[in-house]
Structure 1
Amino acid sequence: MTTPRALTDLPFHRYLEDTDEVPGPSSDHEVAHYRGTDFSDVRADGARLTECAFSDTTFGASRWRGARFNDVWFQGSQLVGTDLAESQWLDTEFVTCALAGTATFDVTMNRVVFHGCKLVSVNLREARLDDVTFSHCVLRDVDFAGAGLRRVSFPGSELLGVHLDQAVMDGVDVRGAGELDLRTGRGSLKGLTITHAQLAELAPLFAAALEITVTD
């Protein structure tokens, strides 16, 4: 199980510079540290951020469509109503962050880790997630419909009303999840690894997906 990194653990920590420079459309930013910054009114479509850190930042209804985040670290940040659709994430880490009503459809995530985060009503439809870990997170009404999930795990997390309609999964492991409440359509659970106890819990879901009536 991965351990969340502190700011000083980042390999690029010594090069970080505190900045108030707000990203704009198609702008480039490297080794920037945003501390307590409010991005609520920012429009940064297509921005590129490399080896950057965000500490206790607020994103609000800002727009980052098609932005690219490469080796970026977030801690204690609030992404509420934020538009991140079609963005790309590589080697990114979220620590104790909150995402609510976030538009993240059509995003691409590679080697991304969420530690102790809360995700509520996050739209990940048609997203592509590879090697993504949700560690000790709460996912409530998160929508993975039509998404491609490969080597995704949820150790110590709670999945509450998570939607997997027509998701394509390969090596998705929920055995470490503390609570498992899935909403899905026919055939969407192929590629999912669960425990025997979880199999019993999900029996009604399987019956509904196969249109089986269970009665005494």
Structure 2
Amino acid sequence: MRLEDLPYAHLLQRHAGPLRADTRYDTVHFDDLALTGQFGGASFLECAFTAVRAEEAKLRRAGFNEVWMHGGRLVGVDLAESEWQDSEVDSCVLAGVSAYSSAVRRTVFRQCKLESVNLRGAVLRDVVFEDCLLRDVDLADAKLTDVSFPGCTLDEVRLRGAALKNTDLRQAASLGLPDGHLGLRGAIISMNQLLDLAPQFALALGITVKD
């Protein structure tokens, strides 16, 4: 999707001035903006973010509803307890981001890089990670419902204690799960993935496999 393809593109107004905490932003375009500071409780409705750079910014309990984010770079950002709904995050980098206890619904992450992202205890429903790299992503104790990972590389993704329902891993390019079988109850995997995980399942069940 392009900026001009957004259904609210004709309503967007370019942002001017500083971003403020606990403020509602409606149909605003944030472009080439560098964010650092406290912006907790801010909410964004039908907003677009292009080439935004956020470093050590505090956006705890922020709300993102029908937001489009493209080409952003979020480093060390606090997004804990934030809410995302009906949004798209495209070609973005999220590194060292704290997003624990967040709620993400009907949202697509496309061609993104998520590295050292804390999603512990988060609730994800109807979420698609498409052609993404997820490295050192912590989903422990999270709830995933109708989540899929087509074309994604999962490297050191932790699911211990997670509750999965209709979570589809079949189209993931690779599964790097350091917790092994733990947290996979409720997941959908392919036969090839099952064979790859078989040694971990056997170990967990105390089965010795010998030819």
Q: Give the TM-score taking structure 2 as reference length.
A: 0.96
Deviation string for 1:150-198 (max 9, x for gaps)? 0000001111111000000000001111111112266521111011001
Matching residue within 10, 14, 18 for 1:14: 10
Q: Distance in 2 between matches of 1:211 and 1:104?
A: 36
8 A Cα contact 1:107 1:128, kept in partner: yes
Q: CA deviation at 1:215?
A: 5.3
User: What runs of 5+ residues in structure 2 fail to find an aligned partner?
Assistant: none
What are the equivalent positions in structure 2 for 1:67-216 lying under 5 Å apart?
A: 67-184=62-179, 187-214=182-209
Q: Secondary structure at the match of 2:176?
A: strand
Q: Distance in 1 between matches of 2:202 and 2:28?
A: 51
Q: Secondary structure at the match of 1:163?
A: coil
8 A Cα contact 2:94 2:117, kept in partner: yes
8 A Cα contact 2:181 2:197, kept in partner: no
Q: Secondary structure at the match of 2:104?
A: strand
Moved over 2 A (4+): 20-23, 183-187, 207-216
Q: Secondary structure at the match of 1:200?
A: helix
8 A Cα contact 1:165 1:183, kept in partner: no
8 A Cα contact 1:24 1:42, kept in partner: no
Q: Secondary structure at the match of 1:162?
A: coil
Aligned residues: 211
Q: Distance in 2 between matches of 1:85 and 1:165?
A: 19
Q: Which amino acid aligns with 1:122?
A: V
Q: Which amino acid aligns with 1:93?
A: E
Q: Which amino acid aligns with 2:131?
A: H
Aligned to 2:26: 30
What are the equivalent positions in structure 2 for 1:30-69 lying under 5 Å apart?
A: 30-39=26-35, 41-69=36-64
Q: Distance in 1 between matches of 2:29 and 2:124?
A: 26
Q: Distance in 2 between matches of 1:142 and 1:190?
A: 18
- Greater Cα shift, 25-34 or 206-215: 206-215
Overall identity of the aligned pairs, in %: 43
User: What runs of 5+ residues in structure 1 fail to find an aligned partner?
Assistant: none
Q: Which amino acid aligns with 2:104?
A: M
Q: Distance in 2 between matches of 1:29 and 1:212?
A: 57
Closer, same or farther: CA 211–6 of 1 in aligned 2, 3 Å: farther
Q: CA deviation at 1:100?
A: 0.7
Note the aligned Cα RMSD (angstroms): 1.4
Q: Distance in 2 between matches of 1:105 and 1:29?
A: 23
Q: Secondary structure at the match of 2:177?
A: strand
Q: Which amino acid aligns with 2:78?
A: D
